[in-house]
Structure formats: structure tokens, C-alpha cells
Structure 1
Amino acid sequence: MSEQTSNMQQSVRSNANTKRIAKNTLVLYVRMFIMLAISLYTSRVILNMLGVDDYGIYNVVGGVVAVLSFLNAAMAGATQRYINIALGKREQEQLNKILSNSIVLHYIIALIILVLAETVGVWFVNTCLIIPIERMNAVNWVYQFSVFSFLVGIIQTPYSASIIAHEKMTAYAWITLFDVFMKLIIVFLLLFVNVDKLILYAVLLFVGANITRLVYVQYCKRHFDECSISRWNIDEKLMKSMFSFSGWTILGNLSYMGHTQGIAILINMFFGVTVNAAQGIANQVNGCVKLFVSNFTIALNPQIVKTYASNEIETMHSLIFRGCKMSILMVALFVIPLILETPTILDMWLKIVPDYTVVFVRLILLVAFFESFSSPLVTAQGATGNIKYYQMLLTFIGLLHLPLTWFLFALGYDAYYSQYIYLFIVIVMQIVRVLWISRSVGFSLLAFSRDVILRCVLAVIVALIIPIILHLLLPNGVFTVLVVCVVSVVCMALCSLFIGFNHSERTTVLNMLIKKLNINSK
């Protein structure tokens, strides 16, 4: 009887979690569509205003600063993980300690990055990057304000992590939308001034970063008790534990920086700022696709950690499977039409399409597809706290991207070969990640392969057939893009429903649709 009661309680909690995830995901998707529209517009305008060379300069200089972000990204992940664990166990006093220590640690990280940026970073920008000599003064101004903006983002991190951990996604959506609208205002301001637009752009982004930080801090202080710090509750043991956890996460983030910003610097050293502009546009497209799936995982990930903390392991496994499957299918929804119609879409979006952009975009979209289901797995591994050897192995594989790319560039291969290497490495990393985490958190590798990978692969293959035929038969143009995009989305949605989803998931989705239709018809 007690076991039956326990199962009923777990079922009720699972349903509550599902509803919360669905509500938060819906809020984040509304935010996403607004952000996508604004981001795509601002990218087009900035590329046209700055020109290909200055756009490439901004991307590569920003990349040098972003290389240092592996420290902050690691600490941000640790902060969110510890907050989620404390919330899962309902330990308010521990929550207060975590936030106090997190804020102190982020100030320490900001200081370390400032020192590195003003020594090694300044030297690298002025001696190693290939920049037109007449733009070196502008480059140094841009670099300094990029560093300052980045430091503001670091000390804001504990507050944004708190909002996500508390699952206040409506607030998170409003604040991030506020930030995006500020960037839109910045773009409009650039249209009406007659000064160096590259420098002014960096200055205004710094001002915007400060305003956004103030909004985050004020919201958290008003809504979360642990953020209204009247005295600093420093716990050396906790601080050491958080720093140790983030220390191993640093390796994973270092690998990611190698994939992105490290390769951007290599491309600059071998090919110059024009190719950096092409890579910057490809990264913008990749960011839009990742934004689409991250809305779901942002809502899901806190639940994975909390179910682990409360020892609801079966529920955790269910969340991992659901998260991985939905991530793959949602990315495929975007990636299929974008890859098929890349040249025409880029011509419609941008007035100026730098060389190499088409091939960069197509390859980075393939990478995004294979990388799509990593977030729930990484969150699950982080929840266990046992990340040392996992991070060491994945970092070693990931960092192979840099020497292999340098080797090919030195042999005279073209810039886009870096993306072929990246694609291969991501596939290897995903295989290793699934094998490792299945043992770490105890889910069945066979069940994951059958219920997630096989279903998703079959759904994508079947969904590709009609869009590819249309792409080959119809002439290039706006009409073809519209037809291929609509047909791709419909095919992928139907294949997801009838091939990707199992019976239970399909029934849930259909019931939700029927319920919505009934409400709208009344």
C-alpha cells in the first residue's frame, strides 16, 4: 500500500514537473521568436554599416576576449548546479551561503580575467592578429570596451543563475528581451552619428551591459531571500567545493573556446578579417538554432538536477530521454530547410554575403544538429558531481580541433576545412558522452539507442525525402525557399509525431492539441 502511495505521489510530482516545464518552455519560445527577429535584423544592419572588414574585426577581437570566458562559464555552471541542489533539498540557509560565496568567486574571476586581458590579451591583439594598420587604434578601443562589457557580465552571472534555478522564466524572458531591445536601439543610434561606428558600437554595448546587470540585481534582491545579502556568509569549505567543481568544468569550457574563438583566431592568422566575417555570420546562424533548442533545455535542466537531488532517479532518466529526443527533433526542424536553401536565404537576409559564408553556415548547422542533445546529458553528469575524468576525456578530444586545424591550414587547405574537423570531433564527443553518462547515472544504453537515437534518425531520414526532391526540381528563388521551408517543417513535425515520439508521448501531444482546439472553438 505504501509503495502504491509512493508511486502515486511520484506520478503527481512528475505531472507537476511536466506542466512547469511546458509553461516555462512556452514563455521562453515567445521570447525566442522576438529575439530571433531582432537579432537577424541587427546583424544585417551592422554588417552593412560596418562593412565586411570592420565586422570581421569586431568578431575576431571579441573572440580574443571570449577566449577568457571559460573561467566564468565554468563558475556559472557550478553556481546554478549548487543552487538547484539546495532548492531540491529545500535548504534555505545553504542557499544563502551558496549565493554569498558565488558572488565573491565571480569577483575573483573578474579580477583574474582583467589581469590576463590587460597583459596577454593586449599583447596578442597588437602583435598576432592580422588587422589593417589604419584600424589598429579602433581595434584597441574595441578591445578595451569588450573587456569591460565582459567583466560586467561576469559579476551579473550569480543573479541570472538564480532566476533560472528558481525557474522564474517569465522574468528571465522579459530581462533578456529588454537587453535585446537595447541592442536594437544601439543599432538605430549608429545610423544617425558621424563618428567611428566600430568604436561607438563597443562603447554603447558596454553601457547596455551595465543597465542589464542592474535590472538582474534589482529583480533578484526583490524576489529571492538569498539575494538580499545583509552580511557576507563566507564558507571556505563550500567555496573550495564550488571552485573544485568549476575547476573541472573549466576544462570543458576551454575545449568549447578552442572550437569557437580559438579557431576564429587561427582563421584570422591564416586568412584575414574577411573570412572572420563569414565565420561570424555562420556563428550567428548557429546561435539562432541553439537559441531555439536552449529554450527547452533551460526549462528542463533545473528539473534534472532537482530530481537527482531528491533521489527520483527514474524520473530523472525520463527527463534525460525526453530532453535529448526533443532537442534533436527541434533542431532538425530548423536545420533541414536552412541547409537546403542556404544561398538564397543568405541573399534575402544580407545585402553583403562575404566569401565562404555559405559553406561555413551549412557545416556549422550540421555541427549544431549532432551537438543538439548534449545539454540534458551534461546537466545529468553535473548533477552527480563526478565530473573530473569525464571532463578530462572530453576536453582532450575537443582540443584536438585546434592542432588538427592548424596542421591543415599550414598545408594550404581552405578555411572551411576547420568545420569538417569540428563536425568529426563533435560526433566522436557525443558517442563518448552517451557511453560515459549512461554508466554514470544508470540509464540503459540500449533503451537510449532505441527510444532516442533510432527514432530520431528514422524521423529525420523520412522527413528529408520530399524537401530534397522539391529543392532539386524547383528553380532557385524566394518561392522555392518558402515552399521548401513550409514542406520541411510539416514533414518534420509529422515524422516527429508518428516516428520520433513513442505512444505515450504521441498521446500526450495529441491530447494537448485537442484541448487547445476545443478551447479556441468555444
Structure 2
Amino acid sequence: MMLTMIISLYTSRVVLQILGVDDYGIYQAVGGIVGFLSFVNNALSTGSSRFITFGLGENDPQKLKNIFSTTLTAHLCLAIFIAILAESAGLWFLHNKLVIAPERLDAAKFVLHLSVITAFFSLTQVPYGASIIAHEKMGIYAYVSIIEASLKLLIIYLLEIGSIDKLKLYALLLCLLQIGIIIFYRLYCIRNFDETKFRFYFDKKLFKEIASFSGWSLFANTAIALNNQGVLVLLNMFFSPAVVAARAISLQVNAAANQFVTNFQTAANPQIVKKYAAKDYEGSKQLLLATTKFSFYLMLLLSLPICLGTKQLLTLWLKTVPEYTIIFLQLAIIQSLFCVFDTSFYRALYAKGRLKENALISPLLGFIQFPIVYILFRLGFSPEALSWTSLFTYAFLGLVIKPLLIIKIVNYKWKDISSVFVPCFKVLCCALPAPLFLYYKLSDESYLSFFAVVILSVLSVITSSWFVGLETEMRNALKNKVKALLLKRSHP
């Protein structure tokens, strides 16, 4: 994760320099059109992953094969539909609604076509990815991620020496890379997991179960699409591609930080579902609560240094920082702390298979957020209004909505919720004072001050998490684990 994050941030900087702010913004906005149209896929992905994981927990190989083939057939049909929609409605939207200079319209259309091709392969890849996660083969993701990151460095080199339009070349090379990675994952699945040997099979009854389960997350994913890809398109309707680039850059840094937490949760999620499927409800709950706390500590470890050193970090990374990037990044990072609770508590509903209430309540806030941002932009508010609206929405979701839902539906207690919120709040309060004091004391913007604040922030979060965030039993268990590893290394 560390290696891929560093490479990802480096390549983003070079791509921004080579393409320029406007072309980088065009790439993000046009890709956002296809991303928005693919929101239905995310809903079906939820059902596919849950049913495949549950099928493994039930230990029924034939049912698992039927689940996989049914979901893959459904995703194939969806991919064809999305491709047709993107090449018709998406193309019209690009011509009539986005703010793109006439001389760059041809390149923008080229990017759209390649984005559609990539989306088609990605849509049909979902069941294979769900199988890898369900079988808990996380190591393959690590190896492929390192290879993918290394190949992105090659893309940067080819981009620099290439003589054709840089935006077109970048879109083409990324498309080929992503398709190659997808093909590798499929071959790996077919070789290692018997159920992924596709046969044209469609179980209507099984699909209705998956669709019914996924249907409740359809509204949620519509809201997510509006507030992720949709807002990039919205920004390009009211502001220049440079503002879209600023938003995209901030989200990329935030995504790199979030990837640590996401991968940590991904490793735990199958066990949460499997324990629930095996009727070990208490074990499933305790694992989810522990994962939530550790995810928050990890996110705080990354977010505090980024928030306090945003300007120096972006200047060091990009040299020329587009306007609004700093405030976009700071608010996105703070939002991510609340998202930890939102995504973690959702897993309890996911394991139980009850998404109805969440799909009715949570997306409603997302649907309200999008028109509010649109109205604010129409009234002349700055692009910052987007980030503030999103921050308040996710804070309410993570601290209020999700806890109420898992208490009502999955029989959690308030003491379970407080066992997460209280230590997280204590760690936050203990970790903040020292870095904040140094930040305001060293008011200059030198890199020496930046590194001092970052180091103190990291040490402060680690110390607070260890002494305040962990119970005595967990600290002792970790100490014993480290001792055992050191002993093993010294006596091989």
C-alpha cells in the first residue's frame, strides 16, 4: 500500500504537469459521465459480493457456481446497456452541457469512447473480484497493485516521449493497462476457483433474491454516483476544467489515504459475514466493532498530518497548486473520519442482508445534497460549498443514521456504539493538542516546520491510540505477538 500510494501520487503530479490543468480536468469530467452512468453496477456489486461470500459460508459448491454464473450474466447484460447509454446520452451531454474549449472537444470525445470500453470490462469483472475477496486471497491484490503501479510509471515515460495528443495517449494507455489487469484477475480466478468457470446459466429465482437485495442499495448508489462522479460534471457546468482538476486532485490524495483503511476493512469484511452466516452473531459484532475503532485510528494517523500540512504537502507534490485544491483536500480528509463510521456500521446491515431501511434513509440525504449544491452554485456560491455540504452530510450519516439503523435492525446496543465512539473521541482529543500547538507556534510555511508538525502528529496519534484507544488485553496481545515475531527471527 505504501509503495503504490507513493507511485500513485508521483504519477498524478507528472500527469498534471504533462497534460496541464485544463486537460486533466477534462479527463476527470468526461470520465465522471461514464462513472455516473455505471452507478447501477455498484448496487449489483453489493449483491454479488454478499451472496458469493454467503455461499462460501454455507459450503454449497453447486449453489456457489449458480450464484457466480447468474451474477456474471446479469453484469454482462448491464455492461451492454451502460455502453449504449454512454455512447448516446453521454455523448450528447458532453457536446451540450460541459464547459470544454472547442479545440479540445475531439480529444474529449476520444476519452469518452475509451472510458466506455474500460467501463464495459470493469462491469463484467465484478463477480470475479467478489470471488477473490470471498476466498480472502488478499495477497494477489498486493502483487497486482505493485505491478499496476510500476506500469503506470511506464505510462508516464511513454507520455513524455510520445508525439501524439497527450490527453488521447494518456487515455489510451490507461485503458490498455486496466483491461490487462482485468484479464489477469479473470485468468487467476478461473485457475484457482472452480465456481468461476463460467457457463451460461441464469437462475431467475436466485437473480430475484440478488436483485431484491441489491435493489435496496440502488438508491444508495444513485446518491453516491451523484455526489462523486456527478459533482465533477456539475463543477464543469459552472466552473472551468481547472476547478474540476482541483477537486480531482484533492480526492486523489484523500483516496490514497483512504485506501489504507479500505484495504484493512476489506480483509475483515468476509469474516464478519461468514461469522454471521455461521450464526456466530456475537463474534461477528465484536469483530466489526474492533475493526471500526482500528479503522478510525488508522484514518486519524493519516488525516491529521495531511490537514495540518496541506499547503506544504501540495506545493511539495505539485509545485503549482490549482486554486481551491487546499480547502477541497482539508474538508475531504475531515469527511473521511466520519465516513469510517458510516462504512463500518453498514457492514452489520450487509451481513444480516437488511438494506431496505438504509437504502431509503441514507440516499435521501445524498439526493438532497446534490440539488442543494446545484442551487448554491446557481446563486453564485464558490466551489467550496460542495465540500462543506458533503462534510455535514457524511457526519450526520456516520454519527446518527448508521448507529440508529444497526441498533434497530441488527440488535446492537447503545453500549456497543459507545464502545466505539468513546475511545475514538478520547484518542482524537488526546492526539490534537500537541500538533495544533506546534502548528500555530511555527506559523511560518517552511518545510522544516512542515516536517516537524507531521512527525509530531504521527507520534501523537500512535501514542494516544496505544494508551487511550486500546484495552489492556489488546495491548498485551500485541506485545506478545511482537515478542513472538522477534523470537522467531532470532531463532529461525
What TM-score results when the alignment is normalised by the length of structure 1?
0.91
CA–CA distance in 1 between the matches of 2:46 and 2:4? 23
- Pairing 1:498–2:467 present: yes
Look up the SS of the partner of 2:319 in the other structure: coil
- Relative to structure 2, which stretch is displaced further, 155-164 or 43-52? 155-164
Give the C-alpha shift of residue 89 in structure 1: 1.2
Superposed CA RMSD in Å reads: 1.3
CA–CA distance in 1 between the matches of 2:346 and 2:415? 19
- Relative to structure 2, which stretch is displaced further, 352-361 or 479-488? 479-488
CA–CA distance in 1 between the matches of 2:182 and 2:242? 33
CA–CA distance in 2 between the matches of 1:471 and 1:225? 56
Count of equivalent residues: 489
Give the C-alpha shift of residue 142 in structure 1: 0.7
Name 1:278's counterpart in structure 2: 246
Give the C-alpha shift of residue 372 in structure 1: 1.6
Name 1:83's counterpart in structure 2: 52
Cα pair 1:186 1:204 within 8 Å, conserved: yes
Q: Map 1:430-441 to 2 at 5 A.
A: 430=398, 431-441=400-410
Give the C-alpha shift of residue 438 in structure 1: 2.2
CA–CA distance in 1 between the matches of 2:169 and 2:424? 46
Name 1:222's counterpart in structure 2: 191
Name 1:21's counterpart in structure 2: none
Match of 1:133 among 96, 99, 102: 102
CA–CA distance in 1 between the matches of 2:81 and 2:120? 10
Cα pair 2:312 2:445 within 8 Å, conserved: yes
Q: Deviations over 1:367-422 (max 9, x none)?
A: 11111233332222112222122211111012211111112112211101111111
Q: Map 1:193-232 to 2 at 5 A.
A: 193-229=162-198, 231-232=199-200
Q: Deviations over 1:433-452 (max 9, x none)?
A: 11101221112122321x11
- Pairing 1:158–2:127 present: yes
Name 1:9's counterpart in structure 2: none
Match of 2:272 among 280, 290, 304: 304
Letter in 1 for 2:153: L
Match of 2:63 among 86, 94, 103: 94
Name 1:515's counterpart in structure 2: 484
Name 2:432's counterpart in structure 1: 464
Look up the SS of the partner of 1:373 in the other structure: helix
CA–CA distance in 1 between the matches of 2:480 and 2:407? 31
Cα pair 2:357 2:405 within 8 Å, conserved: no
- Pairing 1:314–2:282 present: yes
Q: Deviations over 1:134-168 (max 9, x none)?
A: 10011000111011111111111111111111000
Look up the SS of the partner of 2:432 in the other structure: helix
Cα pair 1:356 1:416 within 8 Å, conserved: yes
Letter in 2 for 1:204: L
- Pairing 1:370–2:338 present: yes
Cα pair 1:107 1:155 within 8 Å, conserved: yes
Cα pair 2:342 2:394 within 8 Å, conserved: no
Q: Map 1:295-374 to 2 at 5 A.
A: 295-374=263-342
Letter in 2 for 1:50: L
Letter in 2 for 1:232: F
CA–CA distance in 1 between the matches of 2:107 and 2:200? 41
Q: Deviations over 1:443-462 (max 9, x none)?
A: 2122321x111111111111
CA–CA distance in 2 between the matches of 1:250 and 1:362? 30
| TM superposition outliers: structure 1 runs of 4+ over 3 Å | 516-522
Give the C-alpha shift of residue 242 in structure 1: 1.1
Q: Deviations over 1:79-128 (max 9, x none)?
A: 11001111111111111001111110110110111121012111111100
Name 1:58's counterpart in structure 2: 27
- Relative to structure 2, which stretch is displaced further, 406-415 or 47-56? 406-415
Letter in 1 for 2:354: N
Name 2:161's counterpart in structure 1: 192
Letter in 1 for 2:97: C
Q: Deviations over 1:165-202 (max 9, x none)?
A: 10001112222333332222212110111110101111
CA–CA distance in 1 between the matches of 2:463 and 2:489? 22
CA–CA distance in 2 between the matches of 1:411 and 1:264? 18
Give the C-alpha shift of residue 520 in structure 1: 4.7
Name 1:405's counterpart in structure 2: 373
Give the C-alpha shift of residue 521 in structure 1: 5.1
Give the C-alpha shift of residue 510 in structure 1: 2.4
Name 1:8's counterpart in structure 2: none
Match of 2:138 among 152, 164, 169: 169
Match of 2:112 among 139, 143, 156: 143
Q: Identity of paired residues, percent?
A: 36
CA–CA distance in 1 between the matches of 2:115 and 2:472? 50
Letter in 2 for 1:422: S
CA–CA distance in 1 between the matches of 2:433 and 2:487? 33
Look up the SS of the partner of 1:130 in the other structure: coil
CA–CA distance in 2 between the matches of 1:287 and 1:500? 25
